[in-house]
């Protein structure tokens, strides 16, 4: 028989359970409690939160290095667009949410890390009707950053065409917590022995990676960025292109596998990796099979921009 426990005994059983990854948790916040905590065993989400059982919510992930939080306002603005698309507002003003991001990162007492913002429909039932939830939920977590080693940037990474198709456009442009296709892409890449899987739309055009944007540099030195139709507009990619303005021409357009293989450079871009060179696609080399100067320059500019323009935490 399964025991039926009183609340105190049940809570103790929960606290005694192992918590994989707890060493990476620096601090977290739940809006209902209205306080920050550093004990990962108390980092819990109600089972009836529609964020959990319906995937009804959006999220953002921000990076900080040397006490500087990068692209804070662009991330908040993108979350506003995502939440507006699913008719969801946070349980506090957006400006307050911005302050909470800084407070949680500060409470983690680390010079570098990541902050995850989770905005959900909230607890209130196990149906699908959003009216079950009287108040949206808001969770923030600061956790350790494990950056890729320099060797990955020096040698480059591998990629292939994933069997997982690009998301439908109306879903791809929302940073929802439903990352099941993304997970399947990542799992498949690992099984096949590639670093990154890339998805393509119904017309055979490149969309994005599992958590990264992609772009190529053609033989004329022009950066080609997939139109954000079946992909999420990345804050890091957009900033990288802005920083390269005046040095490198940019074109937003659709391109195929053939154009990837004919490119001079190929790269994946994202919050945790900045700009990472891709030296092969479907086991065929890109350009001379070595990292190129445009990717190197974008990463250099992004790193300098963080240190110069990042929002101070402390």
SS3 per-residue string spanning 135-199: CCEEEEEEECCCCCCHHHHHHCEEEEECCCCCCCHHHHCCCECCCHHHHHHHHHHHHHCCCEEEE
Return the pLDDT at 81: 97
Q: Is 125 exposed, middle or buried (0-12, 13-18, 19+ CB in 10 A)?
A: middle
CA distance 247 to 10: 61
**Quick one: tokens of 38?**
């550093």
Smallest CA-to-CA distance from 103 within 66, 146, 143, 142 is with 142
Assess whether the region 7-143 and the region 150-309 belong to the same CATH fold. no
Return the pLDDT at 193: 97
Angle of CA points 253, 76, 103, to nearest 5°: 145
Q: Hey, how many other C-beta atoms are within 10 angstroms of the C-beta on 240?
A: 28
Say if residues 102 and 314 touch (Cβ distance below 8 Å): no
147: left (phi over 0), alpha (psi -120 to 50) or beta: beta
CA distance 170 to 276: 28
Provide the mean pLDDT of the chain: 96
Give catalytic residues, as residue numbers. 175
**Where are the alpha helices (H) located in the chain, listed in sequence order?**
7-16, 50-53, 72-85, 94-107, 150-155, 169-172, 180-192, 235-244, 257-261, 293-309
Task: Kindly report, residue by residue over 74-114, the tens digit of the pLDDT.
Answer: 999 999 999 999 999 999 999 999 999 999 999 999 999 99
CATH topology of domain 7-143: D-amino Acid Aminotransferase; Chain A, domain 1 (3.30.470)
Return the pLDDT at 150: 96
In the chain, where are the structural domains located? 7-143, 150-309
Q: Are strands 274-281 and 157-161 parallel, antiparallel or unpaired?
A: parallel
Q: In CATH, what number does 150-309 get?
A: 3.20.10.10
| b/e map 51-85, b = 16+ CB within 10 Å | bbebebbbbbbbbbbebbbbbbebbbebbbebbee
Residue 13 carries which DSSP code?
H
Residue 247 carries which DSSP code?
T
pLDDT in tens, the chain (314 residues): 999 999 999 999 999 999 999 999 999 999 999 999 999 999 999 999 999 999 999 999 999 999 999 999 999 999 999 999 999 999 999 999 999 999 999 999 999 999 999 999 999 999 999 999 999 999 999 999 999 999 999 999 999 999 999 999 989 999 999 999 999 999 999 999 999 999 999 999 999 999 999 999 999 999 999 999 999 999 999 999 999 999 999 999 999 999 999 999 999 999 999 999 999 999 999 999 999 999 999 999 999 999 999 999 99
Return the pLDDT at 98: 98
Say if residues 148 and 119 touch (Cβ distance below 8 Å): no
State residue 199 phi and psi, 5-degree precision: -105, 155
Task: Kindly report, residue by residue over 184-231, the tens digit of the pLDDT.
Answer: 999 999 999 999 999 999 999 999 999 999 999 999 999 999 999 999
Place of tokens 């001079």: 264
Return the pLDDT at 78: 97
């Amino acid at each position: 028989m399964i025991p039926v426990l009183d609340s105190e005994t049940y809570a103790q059983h929960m606290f005694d359970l192992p918590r994989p990854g707890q060493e990476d948790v620096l601090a977290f916040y739940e809006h209902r409690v209205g306080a920050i905590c550093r004990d990962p065993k108390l980092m819990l989400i109600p089972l009836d939160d529609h964020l959990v059982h319906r995937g009804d919510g959006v999220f953002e992930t921000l990076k900080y290095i040397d006490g500087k939080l990068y692209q804070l306002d662009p991330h908040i603005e993108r979350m506003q667009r995502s939440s507006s698309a699913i008719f969801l507002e946070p349980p506090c003003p957006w400006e307050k949410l911005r302050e909470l991001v800084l407070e949680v990162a500060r409470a983690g007492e680390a010079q570098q890390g990541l902050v995850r913002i989770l905005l959900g429909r909230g607890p209130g039932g196990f149906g699908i009707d959003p009216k079950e939830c009287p108040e949206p939920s808001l969770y923030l977590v600061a956790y350790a950053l494990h950056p890729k080693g320099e060797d990955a940037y020096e040698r480059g990474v591998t990629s292939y065409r994933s069997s997982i198709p690009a998301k439908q456009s109306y879903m791809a442009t929302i940073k929802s917590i439903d990352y099941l296709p993304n997970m399947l892409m990542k799992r498949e890449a690992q099984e096949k022995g590639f670093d990154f899987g890339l998805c393509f739309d119904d017309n055979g055009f490149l969309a994005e990676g599992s958590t990264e944007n992609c772009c190529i540099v053609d033989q004329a030195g022009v950066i080609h960025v997939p139109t954000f139709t079946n992909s999420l507009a990345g804050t890091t990619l957009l900033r990288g292109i802005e920083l390269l303005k005046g040095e490198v021409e940019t074109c937003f357009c659709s391109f195929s596998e053939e154009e990837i293989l004919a490119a001079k450079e190929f790269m994946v871009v994202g919050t945790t990796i900045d700009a990472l060179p891709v030296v092969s696609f479907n086991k065929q080399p890109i350009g001379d099979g070595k990292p190129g100067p445009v990717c190197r320059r974008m990463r250099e500019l992004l790193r300098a921009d963080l240190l110069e323009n990042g929002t101070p935490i402390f």
